Structures are given as C-alpha cells and as structure tokens.
Structure 1
C-alpha cells in the first residue's frame, strides 16, 4: 500500500481526465482516518487545487496567485 509524505497509508481510489482535458486524482485513507479522503485536480489553464487528508487546502490560480487554508480553517494568501 502506498504512503503519503507523512507516512500515512492510502488507497488510490480514482483518477481521470474530463472532457475539458482537466485531470483529477483521489485517495482514500480508510474509515479510521479523521479526514479520510483527499484529492487534487489540475486544469488545462494551469490552475490546480489540492484538498489534503488533514483538512487543509491549497489552490493555485495558474497566474502567480495561491491560497493555502490550514486544517484549523484560517486562510493565508501567498
């Protein structure tokens, strides 16, 4: 079973490309995890988004702007 950067095991639960050419991928960390699923997608425009298993998110608009939201829900622009 693969592990993420923090050593947590997960199952690759799906991936694909939609009709607009945008890619997505999801992971399942199992029913015992507090935030069991994570996913990311990348768009043909260059933007991408990560939703992590710990509840944090990261979004890059593909034009130099990005936003990170930590697990606590406090947002910070980068």
Structure 2
C-alpha cells in the first residue's frame, strides 16, 4: 500500500515535491530505506542505525548527514557543500 507525503525537508535538498512511497524495508545492515516516486522522478532515503541518513533526490542531488553534526550536499551539477 502506498501513501502520499509531502517532502518538506530542506536538508535533503528537495523542492517540496509531493511523492509516493513505492517501497520500504530494512537492508542487511539493519538500516531503514524508503524508495519514493514523484513527478520529478524517483529517489530514496536511508536512515542508518548510527544516526546518519542519506537522501538521493529525483533531481540528482544527494544529501548525507553523518549523525555527528557534519553533512554533505551535492547539487545536481556536482557542486559539493560540506558543513
């Protein structure tokens, strides 16, 4: 069963696009994942056991937070911003 959500997380580099979750689960390392589809394309999100998380957005951008206060955003054009 799919559910509709609004992706409003500015940290993920998203554009506030409505999306439909197409699959969720837990991988072999015990980390939660969520694949989602929107009019802009597909993307996915991992929430890891160590507190880190990762977004791969439909526009080609990525966002990784290491769970310890550091993060890396990579734009669709490949520009990297670390905090």
- State the TM-score, normalizing by the size of structure 2: 0.72
Residue 9 to residue 63, structure 1, CA distance change in 2 (3 Å): closer
Structure 1 unaligned spans of 5+: none
Q: How many residues align?
A: 74
Q: Which has the higher strand share?
A: 2
Residue 60 of structure 2 is matched in structure 1 by 55
Supply the distance in 2 between the matched residues of 1:2 and 1:43 (Cα, whole angstroms).
21
Taking structure 1 as reference, are residues 45 and 56 closer, same or farther at Cα in structure 2, changes over 3 Å only?
Answer: same
RMSD of equivalent CA atoms: 1.9
Instruction: Name which structure has the greater RCO, CA cutoff 8 Å, separation 6+.
Output: 2
Larger radius of gyration: 1
Distance in 2 of aligned mates of 1:21 and 1:61: 16
* Moved beyond 4 Å, runs of 4+: none
Q: TM-score, normalised by structure 1?
A: 0.76
SS in 2 for 1:10: strand
1:28 matches 2:28:
no
